[in-house]
Structure 1
Amino acid sequence: MMTAVNTDALIAVWQRLLADPRKSWVLFEHGTCVVLTAPAGDLAVQAGEILAEFGPVSAGSPAGDFSVIDLKDAEGWVVTGHHNDVLTYVAPDEPHEQSHIVVGLFGRSKRHQDGTELRVVHVEDKRAPANPA
Structure 2
Amino acid sequence: MRDDDPVDNETLIAAWRQLLDGSGKSWVLYEHGTCVVLEHPTADPTEQADAILREFGPVQVDTSAGDFRVLELKNGEGWLVTGHHPDVVTYVALDECEDQSHLAVGIHGRTKRDLDGTELHAVHVEDAKATG
- Could you state the TM-score of these two structures normalised by the residue count of structure 1? 0.93
Decide which structure has the larger Cα Rg and report it.
1
CA contact (8 A) 1:27 1:122 kept: yes
Question: What's the counterpart of residue 20 of structure 2?
Answer: 18
SS of 2:129's equivalent in the other structure is coil
CA contact (8 A) 1:13 1:74 kept: no
CA deviations over 1:22-59 (Å, ceiling 9, x no partner): 11000000000000011011101100100000000000
Structure 1: gaps of 5 or more residues: none
More deviation in 27-36 or 12-21? 12-21
Aligned length: 130
Distance in 2 of aligned mates of 1:21 and 1:69: 18
Which of 97, 108, 111 does residue 109 from structure 1 map onto? Answer: 111
Question: What's the counterpart of residue 119 of structure 1?
Answer: 121
SS of 1:107's equivalent in the other structure is helix
SS of 1:109's equivalent in the other structure is helix
More helix by share: 2
Q: Which runs of 4+ in 1 moved over 2 A?
A: none
CA contact (8 A) 1:69 1:78 kept: yes
CA contact (8 A) 1:16 1:73 kept: no
CA deviations over 1:83-123 (Å, ceiling 9, x no partner): 00000000111112000000000000000000000000000
SS of 1:13's equivalent in the other structure is helix
Question: How much has 1:4 moved relative to structure 2?
Answer: 2.8
Distance in 2 of aligned mates of 1:95 and 1:74: 14
Question: What's the counterpart of residue 35 of structure 2?
Answer: 33
Q: Is 1:56 matched up with 2:58?
A: yes
CA contact (8 A) 1:79 1:90 kept: yes
Q: Which amino acid aligns with 1:67?
A: R
Question: What's the counterpart of residue 88 of structure 1?
Answer: 90
SS of 1:93's equivalent in the other structure is helix
